[in-house]
Chain A
Amino acid sequence: MKRSEARFSRAQVWVHATFAGLVLLAIASAAFLWIDPLAQVFGRRAFITQVHTVVGLLLPVPLALGVISPAFRRDAARLNRMSSQDWEWIRAKDRRSGRIPVSRFNAGQKLNAAFTVGAVLVLFGTGLVMGSVLASWPTDYRTGATWVHDWTAFGLTIAVVGHIYFALKYRTGDASAPASEPDKSRVSN
């Protein structure tokens, strides 16, 4: 990959955009179901529930389509592996100084990616149980699924907020280059 090229392939940008859009829609619709003042402003509970369900069912689609792209698969493999240097990097106070070499993705990005996929997997599964989508589930399981769904959604929302924060903060940087040599790539996080 040359410096002048975009950091991510078109397929990857497309997967990221649709997945991000769906996640934000899921969070927004959930907020209108969850936060009383919002529910009081907008109401329409049956409609919002439907939106949230459909968005949730669509969530895995961009990820599944992404697997077709070799670039997506390659980056997924990179995100999967944490080297000893990654662990050192994430513990270091001066992790942004460039002292510890970072490969294409830094350790925070790797952990965030895995957490996001894990959370979406859990939300998808518990969502199916809550709505008794594929099979009818006993109430205790549905209550348990609701509990897991709520807490996981909390965690994912925090992760998404953090992800956007870091993306904006390091917008001009590039994790694939040493910190002293920022390049022109458009997406950093």
Chain B
Amino acid sequence: MGHEEELPRGAPVGRRLILSMAALGVAGIAFGEPIQRGIDAALSPLRRADPTGLTGLVPGAGGWRYYSVTAKQPNIAVADYELNIGGLVDSPLTLSYQDLLDLPTTQWTRDFQCVTGWRVQDVKWQGVHLRDILAVCGVQSSAQALTFVSYDGAYTESLTLEQATTEEVMVATHLDGTTVTQEHGGPARLVVVPMYGYKSLKWLSDIKLVEDVEPGYWEVRGYDVDAYVGESNGRNDEAI
């Protein structure tokens, strides 16, 4: 090309741009955490009032994120929902959604913290204490742990009996005032308040009383079995 060699070659702007971006990237790794926390706090009220869900696309804007490990999300009508409790119990039990509503209900408003970093503030849960359900079917003395199974056919979770019978574990029937939706794991899901979100299994189908803890879906993939927020998975999030 004839005229090319006649043009001045100019400054190495490309190299400068690349090096600047790399430097910014390194600075972001070092200082991004407090910046993200600030943005998170600032955008959280906005997100709450956003019906479009567009704020969900802003990195670090907080709010729910949809995670599922299977191809299809289970679609269970409230009328068809069944929760089976079996294993080392005195009398196996099957509860409908209405049965759950008929048990003594409890409510909390607590944060929900995901192990990947996002946190939803002030989530309003309503449901039944797991220990109240266990009291109905009776737990045999050999049972030391629980295995939870999801309607999705792949996801499982675990708790020790001691963890499962604390006040902060419920089978939730309502989220923010309405029946738990399909996306949020409805009609009924597990909620383990003090632990990371992966313990709060969605589309709860079966609860089995067992002798030993059987690590759940993400736990055989490296996550901690005892998943207390801020004290596990190498994270230091504020406890819930």
Whether A114 contacts B17 in the complex (CB less than 8 A), given A126-B29, A145-B32, comes out as: yes
Give Cα distance in the complex from A39 to B59, angstroms.
16
Within 8 Å CB of B57, what residues of A?
34-35
A84 CB–B CB distance under 8 Å: yes
Give Cα distance in the complex from A118 to B29, angstroms.
15
A70 CB–B CB distance under 8 Å: no
A97 CB–B CB distance under 8 Å: no
Picked from A81, A143, A150, the residue with its CB within 8 Å of the CB of B10 is A81
Within 8 Å CB of A53, what residues of B?
none
B33 CB–A CB distance under 8 Å: yes
Give Cα distance in the complex from A147 to B24, angstroms.
12
Instruction: Find out whether the CB atom of A122 lies under 8 angstroms from the CB atom of B32.
Output: no
Q: How far is the CB of B215 from chain A (nearest CB, A)?
A: 15
Give Cα distance in the complex from A143 to B116, angstroms.
8
B92 CB–A CB distance under 8 Å: no
Within 8 Å CB of B17, what residues of A?
111, 114-115, 118
1/0 contact string of B49-73 vs chain A (CB within 8 Å): 0000100110110001111111111
Q: How large is the interface on B (under 10, 10 to 19, 20 to 34, 35 or more residues)?
A: 35 or more
Picked from B9, B26, B69, the residue with its CB within 8 Å of the CB of A83 is B9
Within 8 Å CB of B30, what residues of A?
141, 144
Picked from A83, A118, A147, the residue with its CB within 8 Å of the CB of B32 is A147
Picked from A82, A103, A126, the residue with its CB within 8 Å of the CB of B11 is A82
A148 CB–B CB distance under 8 Å: yes
Q: List the interface of chain B (C-beta within 8 A of A).
A: 1, 3-4, 7-15, 17-22, 24-26, 28-33, 35-36, 53, 56-57, 59-60, 64-73, 116-117, 183, 221, 234-236
20 more A-B residue pairs beyond the given contacts A44-B69, A104-B4, A144-B28, with a C-beta to C-beta distance below 8 A: A34-B57, A36-B53, A43-B70, A80-B14, A82-B10, A82-B11, A82-B13, A101-B7, A103-B1, A103-B3, A121-B25, A122-B21, A139-B236, A141-B33, A143-B33, A144-B31, A146-B117, A147-B60, A148-B28, A150-B59
